[in-house]
Structure 1
Amino acid sequence: MTILLLRVPPPSPTIVFSYSSSPRSTTRSLNLTRRVRCRVSNSTEVEGASKSEYKPGVLDDFFMRSFRNKLVEEVGSDSDKPGYVGLIELVKLLLLKSRTRSETNDAAVRILKSLFPPLILELYKLLIAPLAQGKIAALMVARVTVLTCQWLMGPCKVNTIELPNGESWESGVFVEKCQYLEESKCVGVCINTCKLPTQTFFKDYMGVPLLMEPDFKDYSCQFKFGVAPPEDDGSVNEPCFETCSIASRRKLNSGECPMS
């Protein structure tokens, strides 16, 4: 999930969540209310995947703390685990609390918006996004993503992408092995709390089209700033991993979940 400008360990132990009794209203801004049966696939599991290594920078603790605080505000409770493991527990709780994909997307977009002063987003969309047919804004956010989000995604770099019109821009970000997906071991977490809301956030609130292409076989991910997502995006219907704790919990409870 891109954050300012916006690891898979051995099988995770069972996680315990505490729920808040205070309800929170959600704003439905996406027309995505379909519920899908959980499916389990062996073919999408990465065997022997190892954690990507990233040496934290000076500001990484601040970024993680800010993101975690916003997650706590949204779900109404905190995890008793520290660091990245606790962060992923909160993300899973966000997905478990939502009844539909739309609710999860709306909540994740609210979290992204809350990390920015509103005026900055408005000015960027108004003044920067229109320049050079969107190229300048796309190049800028790609570089800021690499500078500020490796603590969340792992090692990544700016690369060149092809646009539908044949042009080539250095507005891509290639994530070698996304630790967000590694740690969660959940396709639904990737699609519904990262890919879809991040694409929505950049398009609607920064004026920058974005297509994210996660690879569920090697955990890599290609960001394409300046490229709009296709209407029929096959990645959102990928079955979840066999080891996904959310899929198993949902199957036991209701058989349905806002998964991919």
Structure 2
Amino acid sequence: MKMTPLALTLPAPQTVMVSSSPIYLLPTSSLQNRTSFRAFCSSVSPETIHSEGSKAEYKPGILDHFFLNSFRDKLVKEVGWDSEKPGYGGLIELAKALMMNSRSNSHTKDAAVRILKSLFPPLLLELYKILIAPIDGGRVAAMMIARVTVLTCQWLMGTCKVNSVDLPDGTSCNSGVFVERCKYLEESKCVGICINTCKLPTQSFFKDYMGVPLLMEPNFCDYSCQFKFGVSPPLPENDDTLKEPCLDVCPIANKRREIRRNVDVMKCPKA
């Protein structure tokens, strides 16, 4: 679990733009009021990424298909539209729609938190936060969530394992999850989707609804990701992950190059 874009403003105010995907059908007037975002294209190329080793393959089981379909159903309800693509490809297209159709990054994050919350029985979250989270300073709750994450989320992220992380009190705890090569990031090819539909909402969800702080550290060079349950994330202005540039393989950046060759393509509207 390093979670989650393409509509661009054209000069004519009444223009309606359609990308290669049917989800990005938005009037220009509505896009002109959207919050702008800045980032710079990364020097990481597709060749660099794939040359660092083949991705670890995870073979999904029966429960994994159930988890994927459940998560996708929640996305469909939030987005109000379903992709024609089956399986994981359709889920990624829905994640792009979730972000591109949102008014701002904050709106995207809130929507993703609602989706995560809807996957759990409400009473379970409340009881966990009240009864489990306080035990042993939160260590027990953090270790439990790390193990459940590995058992239930490899269909989304790919191969991962529990590992030891350093806690703020100077001790170590097996409350980390290391994702070898995040499938969600690799398939979306977008820093903005990773940050706005995965990292930020997931951190907020576990802290606010389960009482367990979480720091997620995606690596945009090799697509790995380190989860640190029991560790609070830094303030946004101090989080280097939020300052990461676009990937060269980002479909948004590439589309901008095709549509508007006379503008500064170094800027990304969503990362």
Deviation at 1:17, TM superposition (A): 2.5
Is 1:152 aligned to residue 156 of structure 2?
yes
1:44-98 residue CA offsets vs partner (Å, 9 max, x unmatched): 7543264430011220010000000011111111111111111111111111112
Q: Counterparts of 1:20 and 1:217 in 2: how far apart (Å)?
A: 32
Normalised to the residue count of structure 1, the TM-score between the two structures is 0.84
Q: Counterparts of 1:227 and 1:235 in 2: how far apart (Å)?
A: 16
Is 1:214 aligned to residue 218 of structure 2?
yes
Moved over 4 A (4+): 248-256
Is 1:257 aligned to residue 269 of structure 2?
yes
What does 1:44-83 correspond to in 2, within 5 Å? 46-48=48-50, 50-83=54-87
**Which residue identity is paired with 1:85?**
G
Residues 20, 75 of structure 1: 8 Å contact kept: no
Is 1:178 aligned to residue 190 of structure 2?
no
Q: Counterparts of 2:148 and 2:111 in 1: how far apart (Å)?
A: 23
**Which residue identity is paired with 1:235?**
T
Comparing 155-164 with 37-46, greater Cα deviation is found at 37-46
Identify the residue that residue 136 of structure 1 maps to in structure 2.
140
Identify the residue that residue 246 of structure 2 maps to in structure 1.
240
Deviation at 1:37, TM superposition (A): 2.0
Q: Counterparts of 1:103 and 1:93 in 2: how far apart (Å)?
A: 13
Deviation at 1:184, TM superposition (A): 0.6
User: What 5-or-longer segments of structure 2 have no aligned partner?
Assistant: 4-18, 27-33
SS at match of 1:36: coil
Is 1:98 aligned to residue 99 of structure 2?
no
SS at match of 1:48: helix
SS at match of 2:163: strand
SS at match of 2:62: coil
Identify the residue that residue 203 of structure 2 maps to in structure 1.
199
Instruction: Answer with 1 or 2: which has the greater Rg.
Output: 2
Normalised to the residue count of structure 2, the TM-score between the two structures is 0.81
Deviation at 1:15, TM superposition (A): 4.3
SS at match of 1:243: coil
Residues 98, 258 of structure 1: 8 Å contact kept: no
SS at match of 2:178: strand
Deviation at 1:41, TM superposition (A): 1.6
Identify the residue that residue 126 of structure 1 maps to in structure 2.
130
* Pair 184,19 (structure 1): closer, same or farther in 2 beyond 3 Å: closer
* Pair 98,120 (structure 1): closer, same or farther in 2 beyond 3 Å: same
Identify the residue that residue 16 of structure 2 maps to in structure 1.
none
Is 1:229 aligned to residue 224 of structure 2?
no
**Which residue identity is paired with 1:242?**
D
* Pair 214,206 (structure 1): closer, same or farther in 2 beyond 3 Å: same
**Which residue identity is paired with 1:47?**
I
% same residue = 63
**Which residue identity is paired with 2:188?**
S
Alignment: residue pair count: 238
